[in-house]
Amino acid sequence: MNGFYPIFKRELLAYFRSPVAYVFIIIFLAANAGCTFFLGNFYDSQQASLEIFFLFHPWLYLFLIPAVGMRLWSEERRSGTAELLLTFPVRLTTTVFAKFFAAWVFIGIALMLTFPMVLTVYFLGSPDNGPIITGYLGSFLMAGSYLAIASCTSALTKNQVISFILSVNICLVLVLLGWGVLGDTLNSVFPVWISDFVSQFSFTTHYEAIRRGVIDLRDIIYFVSIIVIMLMLNVVVLESHKAS
């Protein structure tokens, strides 16, 4: 893993050197609060829990995470720094993972800044700690999966807009596969196992389980494998760009 740390550090720093970090964090926090209090009617639920807060994360991430990830490789390729970065004595896999982890940690920081929500529910009542902890864990893992997809699509093109649109669409499909409406439609035509099978591929299905406070190894393996597969694909995309 030679070279992992300096690349990780530079990448993370790059977020905070540009307005991207601040704009993202502000919008992320505002959107979270907006969804929880207005769309989710947090106060009407009369519950001291973060269930409503976590409920909207798959939809929020759909736009916010590709916005963070779209520059990962497009920017390097557009500005020519890819030629510098990829001629250092570092394995391509290491570079891809280092850049990914930097962006993931950045999203983790934004997620941690939602701590006033936790304080709010503790102030309002005595919430169950379990679902709060697993909710954050699930949300962070899911964010990683979105990000790995965005990283991979960003390697496909020099154009950040194309990279953004591609990853939003791929993520949307993975969210919708577990959407209740789709499941009902499938059930009306096919046997139930088909919709069960299809929903196993979805972010939502696995995220729901974790966010309810159940840590099942299968859900964690799902997110980790999406991350690993997408990043390996990312390596392949970069390799094939170099060859042609």
Q: Can you give the binding site for another protein, defined by CB under 8 A?
A: 2-3, 5-7, 9-10, 13-14, 17-18, 79-81, 83-84, 86-91, 242-244
Q: Which residues of 194-233 are buried (b: 16+ CB within 10 A; e: fewer)?
A: ebeebbeebbbbbbbbbbebeeeeebeebbeebbeebbeb
The number of helices, as runs of H, and strands, as runs of E, in the chain is 14, 0
Closest contact distance (angstroms) between CB of 243 and another protein is 6
Closest contact distance (angstroms) between CB of 228 and another protein is 22
Q: Which CB, 18 or 225, lies closer to another protein?
A: 18
Long-range contacts of 18-27 (CB under 8 A, 24+ apart): 20/68, 20/71, 21/106, 24/64, 24/67, 24/68, 24/110, 25/109, 25/110, 25/113, 27/64
Closest contact distance (angstroms) between CB of 91 and another protein is 7
3-class SS string, 34-93:
HHHHHHCCCCCCCCCCCHHHHHCHHHHHHHHHHHHHCHHHHHHHHHCHHHHHCCCCCCHH
Q: Which CB, 83 or 184, lies closer to another protein?
A: 83
Closest contact distance (angstroms) between CB of 138 and another protein is 33
Closest contact distance (angstroms) between CB of 95 and another protein is 10
Q: Which CB, 84 or 214, lies closer to another protein?
A: 84
Q: Which CB, 17 or 125, lies closer to another protein?
A: 17
Q: Which CB, 5 or 122, lies closer to another protein?
A: 5
Instruction: Tokens for 200, please give them.
Output: 């196993």
Instruction: Tokens for 214, please give them.
Output: 């159940």
Closest contact distance (angstroms) between CB of 76 and another protein is 9
Q: Which CB, 212 or 241, lies closer to another protein?
A: 241
Instruction: Tokens for 136, please give them.
Output: 């954050």
